[in-house]
Amino acid sequence: MIYLDYAATTPMSENSLNIYMKAAKNAYGNSSSLHDIGHIAGMTLQASKKLITDMIGGNEKRLYFTGSGSEANVLAIQSLLNGVNPLKNHIITTQIEHSSLYTFFKRLQTDGFEVTFIEPNNQGQVSVEVVISKLKDNTGLVSIQHGNSELGVIQPIEEIGLCLKKHGILFHSDCVQTFGKMPIHIEKGYVDAISISSHKIYGPKGIGAVYIHSSAYWQPVIPGTTHESGFRPGTVDVPAAAAFAAAAKDIADKMNEYLHHYQELRSQFIRLIEPYRDRLILLNENSENTLSNILPVIIKGIEGQYIMLECNRKGFAISTGSACQVGMQAPPRSLLAIGLDEQIAKQYIRISLGAQTTAKELESFTKALINIIEQF
């Protein structure tokens, strides 16, 4: 089967897998233990943090490992809110956040927080002007996703963050889809916290991380927690952290190479579907503010679920949106947020490219996709 669902998850790289096995054998101790075996684990953990934070120009002491990107999102927000003046109970976010944050912000509304969900424009973009227009005297935190997993749209988080700094408002960004795919420089001071994940960059599943800038004050979600400087309870999975770091270093070393690779494949796909524009629409085709590895497509007159199943039958793995929302009958929330009606939004499929995707594979897939459409 040809895999074209890299935005959902990626296979572990050989290097990441090898590092995991080595660390599992040699750094198996509890990183908080004071004996020599614990010290080896602790040193491995710190080295892993340094490799990851070097990618974003940060300090390894400000990185905290979590159990996933979704958990990283929730812990980042709650930890920051715990450190904010309780009177600053207004939060700004968007309608197109990852489900882990969108549902968490909905829950916070029931806990007494006032949450403003910004609607993006029809390209999925959120401007700094709109964010600033929503600020209130009691705004304590803003959270805006860097890159959307369904539309591929990239938000101007540096511009937004610099404006929020002038107002003294905390800024968090979910960078799970962009980490390793484009430069992020957290110590420039435009963002207070980011969430990242290992399995989106060819590392293991079950581990993510939060980076919190030294200027941001936070408090533990669970008081009395000792691991990860109080950020998250539980013994840290040191082998997974080491494998995460290995994957991060590898992807950082090849970031420009992969970006060019995705851009070439995207251009190829656009050429291949050109004769079929009456049936296929590539969303945000002409926008520069998109992740080139994510191809969001509308197939006119055919539900995406049918296309996905037929592609699977023909040996191609694609999706109809974020894997975190599989099983939901409604179409992707992000598509409704940009103004598509429910019927059109249900005609959506997502093709997401990876480092291993070849031009031949994409050509084979496009031919199969066109055949499915013509046979419908």
What's the confidence (pLDDT) of residue 279?
95
The predicted pLDDT at position 328 comes to 54
Q: Are 117 and 202 in a shared domain?
A: yes
Mean residue pLDDT of the chain comes to 95
The pLDDT of residue 369: 98
Domain's final residue, options 193, 221, 253 = 253
- Helical pair 36-55 and 238-253, crossing angle rounded to 10 deg: 30
**CA distance to 22, 187, 205, 240, per residue, from 42 (Å):** 15, 25, 21, 13
- Do 136 and 243 belong to one domain? yes
Strand 90-94 versus strand 139-143 pairing type:
parallel
User: In terms of domains, do 106 and 182 share one?
Assistant: yes
| pLDDT value, residue 329 | 62
Cα–Cα distance between 362 and 2 in angstroms, integer? 9
- Per-residue model confidence (pLDDT) at position 326: 53
Could you read off the pLDDT of 237-289 as tens digits, one per residue? 999 999 999 999 999 999 999 999 999 999 999 999 999 999 999 998 988 89
Bridge partners (DSSP) of residue 296 are 350
Q: Supply the residues annotated as catalytic.
A: 324
In a shared domain, residues 246 and 367:
no
Domain stop point among 222, 253, 284: 253
Number of domains in the chain: 2
Give start and end residues of each alpha helix (H) in 29-133: 36-55, 69-82, 99-110, 128-133
Same domain, 159 and 235: yes
pLDDT for 324: 57
Is 194 found in the same domain as 108? Answer: yes
Are 263 and 195 members of one domain?
no
Is residue 224 located within the same domain as residue 284? no
Distances (CA, A) of 41 to 26, 52, 301: 8, 17, 55
What pLDDT, on a 0 to 100 scale, did the predictor assign at position 40? 93
Same domain flag for 345 and 276: yes
pLDDT of residue 337: 97
| Non-local CB neighbours of 224 within 8 Å, separated by 6+ positions | none
Domain limits for position 26: 14-253
DSSP states along 257-289: HHHHHHHHHHHHHHHHHGGGTTTEEETTTT-SS
Do 117 and 37 sit in the same domain of this protein?
A: yes
Question: Which CATH number is 73's domain given?
Answer: 3.40.640.10
Helix H or strand E encompassing 251? helix 238-253
The Cα 92–Cα 101 span in angstroms is 12
Q: Answer yes or no: do 223 and 269 share one domain.
A: no
Low-confidence ranges of the chain (pLDDT < 50): none
253, 286, 318: which is the final residue of a domain? Answer: 253
CATH at residue 278: 3.90.1150.10
In this structure, the answer to whether residues 237 and 272 fall within a common structural domain is: no
Q: What is the pLDDT of residue 226?
A: 83
